[in-house]
Structure 1
Amino acid sequence: MSKQKLELTWIGKEKRPKLEPRILLEDPEKSYHAKHRVTDGDIFDNRLIFGDNLLALKALEQEFSGKVKCVFIDPPYNTGSAFTHYDDGLEHSIWLGLMRDRLEIIRRLLAEDGSLWITIDDNEAHYLKVLCDEVFGRGNFIASIVWQKIYTTKNSAKHFSGMHDYLLVYAKNIEVWRRNDLERTAKQDDAYKNPDKDPRGPWKATPIHARNYYSKGLYSITSPSGRVIAGPPHGTYWRMSKDRFLELDADAQIWWGEKGDNTPSQKRFLSEVQGGVVPSTWWTYSEAGHNGEAKNEVRALGDGSEELFITPKPEKLLNRVLQIATNPGDLVLDSFAGSGTTGAVAHKMGRRWIMVELGEHCHTHIIPRLRKVIDGEDKGGITESVSWHGGGGFRYYRLAPSLIVNDRWGNSVINPEYNAAQLAEALTKLEGFTYAPSETRWWQHGHSSERDFIYVTTQNPSAEQLQALSDEVGAEQSLLVCCAAFHGVTAATAAERWPNLTLKKIPKMVLARCHWGRDDYSLNVSNLPMAEMEKAESVAPGNTAKNTKSRKAALANAGQGGLFGENE
C-alpha cells in the first residue's frame, strides 16, 4: 500500500502559474524623500511597487530571497460578491490557489529567522491555517492571535455579533525565530504594590500551588498566626519543595496576608521582572486598536480614504506586530498594501519596508500618506508614541510590461517597449544572473559568480566576432551569449570551438519559461487562473512545427535587430 499524506485539496490545486520574473522600473517623479536628514538613522531605500502582487513577489524573489524579517499581509477575506455565480467549492478553490502561490514565494523571501503575520476572519481562517501548515510546515506554526477589532456589539447581527479577526503567525524556521517582548505599560506596573514596605520595592503576589504534579509538592505548613494548613488546595500541588518554601519564608518572600493567616503566595518583585511583557494571543482593542480607530486615521488624511477602505488596519496593530517581530533596520514586506498602513508604521519605527499595491489608490492615497509621514505632517496613529518627526524616503517602482508579446502575425517577439538596458536586465534575471553592467567590459551585463558572466545583444554575431569575444573572455572565465542569431557556425560547432562561450537565441531561449502577457493574477472573476491556464496551454507558442516555422519567418520580417539601433 502506497504511503499517503494528510493534506488540504481543492479544485485545480495541481495547476500552478508559470510566473514571469518581471523587472522593476523606477519612476523618479513618484519617488520621494525628505528635503534634509532628520536623524542619522533615516532610511531612504524603501520601495513602493505598483502592480499585481503575485508578479511583484516574483520580481523581488531574486534580489530579496532570505532577506525579509517580517511579512505582514491583510489579504481579501473571500467575502465579497466576486463569486456570486460560482458554487462554494470553486470559490474556496480559487482563493486557496491564489493564496498558495503567494505564500510559497513569501516563504522564500523570508529570512531564516523571519516570520509571517496574516490577518484573516472566520470565513477562511481554518482553511488558511491548514494551507500554511502545508507551505511552512506545521512545526513552524507560532500562534493564532485573536484581535478584538470591534468594541461594541451589533444588535442587528443575524446570529452572533462578530467582534474579532485572527492573526496567523508562522516562522520560516521556528528553531531560530526569536520574538521581542512588548514594552511594559504603566497599568501593568501599577499592579505591583508594597503593603509591607519591603526594601526590595513593589511586588505582586502569585500563587505557589498549581495543578501540575510535583513529587515534593504535598506537605503541611504553619502560618505566622499559628494556623496549620494541611496541604495545597484540593487537586493541586505546592510548586516548590518544603525546604525551598522555608528558605523563601525566612527571606520574607512569602506573603501570608495582612493578618498572617491566609493561604501563602510568593512575592514577585517589579525589579526582577524582565524588561518587557511576553505577548499573549488575546489582543484587545485598547492594546492593538480597532477598525473605527483605523478609519479615523485614514479619514484624518483628508483624501476620502474612509470611503475606499472598508476595514483598514489601525497603526497600533501594526506597531504591536513589528515590536514583536522586528528590530530597527529590519526589512518588512506587505504585498497587500491597501491604505499603506504597514509602510507608514514601519517608516515611523525605523524599519525598512517594501509595499505592493495594484489599485489606483496606490497613487491617490498611499503616496500622499507616505509623503506626509516623511515630511513629519502625519500627526496621527503612533506618531506621538514613537516620537516621529519625519525623514527618510522611498522609491516608486512599477512592473515592467511582459517581455514577450505577439506581433501582428500572432508570433512571439520581444516587446518593442524594451530598450537595450531593460532587455539585458530582463534576460539576465530570467537566466538567474545578477544584473550588474560593467563600465569597462562591454560584454559583461551580469554575473552569477566571479567567473561566470552574461552578455545580451540583438545583433547576429559572426564566427569571427565570436572568436574575438572568446579570446577577450579568456579560458578562466565563461560567458553566456544571448543573441538574435549567429552566423557561420552551428551550436554544436560553437561549443567545440569556444568552450568558454554558451550561445542562446533570443527570444526562443525563453518562450517556454513563463506565461507571457498576463498582468493580473488578482481575484477578478475574468482572470480565473484555471481558465487562463487552459487557454494558455491551448495556444502556447511552439506547440507545432508549423507554428515554429511561421514564427521564425515573422521574426525575420519584424526586424528585431533594430531594437538597440544599428550601432550597438
Structure 2
Amino acid sequence: MDKMRMESVDMTAQNIEKIGSLFPNCITETIDENGKGKKVINFELLKQMLSSDVIDGDEAYEFTWVGKKASIVEANKPIRKTLRPCKEESVDWDNTENLYIEGDNLEVLKLLQESYLNKVKMIYIDPPYNTGNDFIYNDDFKMTSEEYAEEISELDEDGNRMFKNTDTNGRFHSDWCSMIYSRLMLARNLLSDDGVIFISIDDNEQSNLKKCCEEIFGEKNFVAQLIWERAFAPKNDAKYISNSHDYILMFAKNINNFVIGRLPRTSEANARYSNPDNDPRGVWQSDNLTVKTYSPSGDYSITTPSGRVVEPPAGRCWSLSKNKFLERLKDNRIWFGADGNGVPRIKRFLSELKFEGMAPTSLLFFKEVGHSQEGSQELIKIMDGGVFDGPKPTRLLKRLMILANLKENSIVLDFFSGSATTAHALMEVNKEKNLKCKYIMVQLAENTNKKKDTGYKNICEIGKERIRRAGKKIKEEAPLVTQNLDIGFRVLKLDDSNMNEVYYSPDDYSQGFLNQLESNIKEDRTDLDLLFGCLLDWGLPLSLPYYSEQIEGCTVHNYNDGDLIACFDENIPNSVIKEIAKKEPLRAVFRDSSFASSSSKINVGEIFKLIAPDTTVKVI
C-alpha cells in the first residue's frame, strides 16, 4: 500500500510535468540540495521551441519588481500543514455545505488546490489597500536584511514573522505586489472555466493590481473595471479632490466561457418603450438609422410617407443597405414619426431583445448598491455595535453575485473575508433566488482594534458571529421560504501537519528506525483531524456528508457514501477489513501503525484485491 502524501501539492513539479508532456526535449535533470536527481526545465531550449527568433538582452515589455520571482516560487512551494475541524464553533456541522477557514490565506489556498481545482464560480476579495498603515501579512520570503526585520517585525501567535508595510518602507509597492501576486496565482487555479474574480482596490495599488491580473488571468480575460461610489457626500477638508469612489477589478477565468449576469429590468427602463402605432408585436423604441462610417451601399435617398425626400446627414450614411431598408419598411419596422414626415428610425421591439434583463454598467452608484456608511451601519445593527472598520455593504456583494451569474450550486470564495459580508450576502441571494450556492470564507485570525473594546479577540470571531446572527435573522424574517436555507458552516483551522516531523525526513532516517516508532501521528490529533487531512490529500471537497459506525468495536468513517472510508484504530482485525471492503469504497485509508507487520499490510491489500479490486487503499 502507498502512503498518503500529507502535504499540499507541489505546483512546480506539476507544471514541469505539463511542460514535459508538450516539450519532452526541454526536460533535463539536475542535483538538488540533498544530492538527489530532480527534473528541471531547460528554459533556453524551451524559448527556442516557442519561437524562431529568441530575444536576448535586457530590453523587453514587462511588469516587474523586487521580489516577484520569489513570490512565484512561494506560490508553487508545497507546505506541510493541514486543516483541523472545529465542530464546537460550527453551526449545523453535519448538514451544512459552507466552510469558514481560519488561517493565513496563502497557505489555505495551497491546501485547497486539489479539493477545489476548477470548482469555484466566483471569487471576491477585499485585500488591504496598502495605505501605509494597515497592511500586515505573513512575510517569509521577501525580506533579505535580518537587521531590518528585527527593527520592524512582529510575531503572530505561532511565532511567524509579520511585516507591517508602511509608506516609509523602500519596497512599499513591491511588497504589496508580492503579497497579492502569489495569492492570485493560486486563486486562478480554483476558478471554474466559466468563473470570475472581483477584487476591491483603491488608487494606491489599482494600476499595479490590474497589471498583476493581466499577467495571471490574461489581458483578454479582463471584463471591466467597475467604479463603486462608496461615499454619498464630499469631504470638505480634502486637500485636492474629495475621493468618493473605489474600484472593483473584474477578470474571467476564460472570457469565451463566461456569461455575465444581467440586471432585472426597471420600470424606468421599460418606460422608454411605447406603442404609438399599436403594432401587434408590442412596445418598441426607435433607434438611429444613420452611422458615422461611410459606405456607398448606405448612401441613398428615402421618401417619407408624407412625400418628403430625406438624405443621410453630411459625411454619414444609412446603417442599412437600400434592400435591407425596403425589407424593414415593408415589415413596418421603420418609424417616420406620428405625422409621417420625420427622419426615419428603426423600431426595436422589447419582445425581441437578444438578452433578458439589462446590460450592467461599470458605474455602481450608491443608490443602487449601497455606500461604505451603509456597510458599517449594517454591521453595527446586526452585531449591536461597531466591531469592524470598513465592511462592504451587502447590496454591493449581491450586485456582484448577479454579474457572476451564479448557478444552482455555485461555490463562492472570499479569502480576505473580514467581517464575512460575502457570506451574509450569499445567504440573502440564496433566499431571494431559491439557490443552494455555497461559500468558503478564509480569514487570518488578526487581533481586533486594540483602541476600542469590541468584545471579540480577533476578526474570525467577528465573522463567525455575524454569519450566525445574519442567518438567524434571515430565517426569522422569512420563515416560509427559508425552511431549507443553509445558514450553517463548518469551521476549519489551519495547523501544522497531523504527522510527526520525523515522518517527513525519510532521507535522514532508516526504514528500521521508522518501524520502531509507536506512531507517526501527533498525540493531540483526533480521528476527525486525520479524516479531513486525508480529504485534502485525496482532493475531496470538505463540505460533503459523512457518518461513523462501529464494526466489531472499531470506528469506521464513511465519507460521502463511499467516496472514502477510513479506520484509524490500532490492530484492526481482518474481519473488519473485509466488512469495509464489502462496501466497495472508491478509497480506503488506515493508519500505518494499525498493522503489526508488513505482512499484515500485504494481507489487507490482498483482501481488497479479492473483494473490492477497484478500491484505492493507502495508509498514513
User: Which TM-score applies when normalising by structure 2?
Assistant: 0.66
Query: Structure 1 residue 263: deviation in Å?
Result: 2.3
User: What pairs with 1:123-162 in structure 2 (closer than 5 Å)?
Assistant: 123-162=204-243
Query: Structure 1 residue 462: deviation in Å?
Result: 4.3
In structure 1, the partner of 2:130 is 78
One-letter amino acid matched to 1:355: M
In structure 1, the partner of 2:416 is 336
Post-superposition Cα deviations, 1:268-309, rounded to whole Å, max 9, x if no partner, equal 22222342112222222223222222222223214323x522
Q: How many residues align?
A: 464
In structure 1, the partner of 2:440 is 354
In structure 2, the partner of 1:457 is 592
One-letter amino acid matched to 2:565: P
Q: Counterpart of 2:297 in 1: which secondary structure? A: coil
Change in 2 beyond 3 A, CA 1:283/1:340 = same
Query: Structure 1 residue 372: deviation in Å?
Result: 3.2
Q: Counterpart of 1:24 in 2: which secondary structure? A: strand
User: What pairs with 1:199-210 in structure 2 (closer than 5 Å)?
Assistant: 199-210=280-291
- The answer as to 2:322 corresponding to 1:242 is yes
In structure 1, the partner of 2:110 is 58
One-letter amino acid matched to 2:495: P
How far apart in 2 are the matches of 1:349 and 1:181? Answer: 15
One-letter amino acid matched to 1:133: E
In structure 2, the partner of 1:110 is 191
One-letter amino acid matched to 2:409: G
Does the 8 Å CA contact 1:206/1:266 hold for their aligned counterparts? yes
One-letter amino acid matched to 1:171: A
Query: Structure 1 residue 120: deviation in Å?
Result: 1.3
How far apart in 2 are the matches of 1:378 and 1:349? Answer: 13
User: What pairs with 1:292-311 in structure 2 (closer than 5 Å)?
Assistant: 292-305=373-386, 308-310=388-390
Query: Structure 1 residue 110: deviation in Å?
Result: 1.1
Post-superposition Cα deviations, 1:104-153, rounded to whole Å, max 9, x if no partner, equal 12111111111111111121111111111111122222222222222333
- The answer as to 2:524 corresponding to 1:417 is yes
In structure 2, the partner of 1:494 is none
How far apart in 1 are the matches of 2:483 and 2:473? Answer: 5
In structure 1, the partner of 2:464 is 367
Q: Counterpart of 1:301 in 2: which secondary structure? A: helix
5+ residue gaps in structure 1? Answer: 36-42, 483-568
How far apart in 2 are the matches of 1:53 and 1:253? Answer: 57
Post-superposition Cα deviations, 1:340-364, rounded to whole Å, max 9, x if no partner, equal 1111111122221111122455554
Change in 2 beyond 3 A, CA 1:112/1:81 = same
Does the 8 Å CA contact 1:21/1:58 hold for their aligned counterparts? no
How far apart in 2 are the matches of 1:465 and 1:122? Answer: 64
One-letter amino acid matched to 1:332: V
- The answer as to 2:565 corresponding to 1:437 is yes
Query: Structure 1 residue 379: deviation in Å?
Result: 8.8
Q: Counterpart of 2:207 in 1: which secondary structure? A: helix
One-letter amino acid matched to 2:444: L
Post-superposition Cα deviations, 1:531-567, rounded to whole Å, max 9, x if no partner, equal xxxxxxxxxxxxxxxxxxxxxxxxxxxxxxxxxxxxx
How far apart in 2 are the matches of 1:290 and 1:32? Answer: 30
- The answer as to 2:104 corresponding to 1:7 is no
Query: Structure 1 residue 437: deviation in Å?
Result: 3.2
In structure 1, the partner of 2:332 is 252
One-letter amino acid matched to 1:103: L
Change in 2 beyond 3 A, CA 1:336/1:48 = same
How far apart in 1 are the matches of 2:328 and 2:260? Answer: 32
- The answer as to 2:479 corresponding to 1:398 is no
Does the 8 Å CA contact 2:222/2:251 hold for their aligned counterparts? yes
Query: Structure 1 residue 375: deviation in Å?
Result: 2.4
In structure 1, the partner of 2:20 is none
Query: 344, 347, 350: which one pairs with 1:264?
Result: 344
Q: Counterpart of 2:298 in 1: which secondary structure? A: coil
How far apart in 1 are the matches of 2:535 and 2:469? Answer: 37
User: What pairs with 1:172-191 in structure 2 (closer than 5 Å)?
Assistant: 172-191=253-272
Change in 2 beyond 3 A, CA 1:269/1:427 = closer
How far apart in 2 are the matches of 1:333 and 1:145? Answer: 19
In structure 2, the partner of 1:531 is none
In structure 1, the partner of 2:402 is 323
Query: Structure 1 residue 207: deviation in Å?
Result: 0.8
Does the 8 Å CA contact 1:339/1:366 hold for their aligned counterparts? yes
How far apart in 1 are the matches of 2:215 and 2:284? Answer: 45
In structure 1, the partner of 2:364 is 283
Change in 2 beyond 3 A, CA 1:126/1:219 = same
In structure 2, the partner of 1:68 is 120
How far apart in 1 are the matches of 2:579 and 2:369? Answer: 51
Does the 8 Å CA contact 1:303/1:365 hold for their aligned counterparts? no
Q: Counterpart of 1:167 in 2: which secondary structure? A: strand
Query: Structure 1 residue 199: deviation in Å?
Result: 3.9
- The answer as to 2:146 corresponding to 1:91 is no
Change in 2 beyond 3 A, CA 1:451/1:369 = closer
One-letter amino acid matched to 2:401: L
How far apart in 2 are the matches of 1:466 and 1:32? Answer: 39
CA RMSD of aligned residues (A): 3.8
Sequence identity percentage: 32
One-letter amino acid matched to 1:13: K
Change in 2 beyond 3 A, CA 1:238/1:287 = farther
How far apart in 2 are the matches of 1:223 and 1:217? Answer: 17
Query: Structure 1 residue 205: deviation in Å?
Result: 1.8
Query: Structure 1 residue 8: deviation in Å?
Result: 1.9
Q: Counterpart of 1:195 in 2: which secondary structure? A: coil
Post-superposition Cα deviations, 1:386-426, rounded to whole Å, max 9, x if no partner, equal 9878832222323242127889xxx9996543346635753
Q: Counterpart of 1:394 in 2: which secondary structure? A: coil
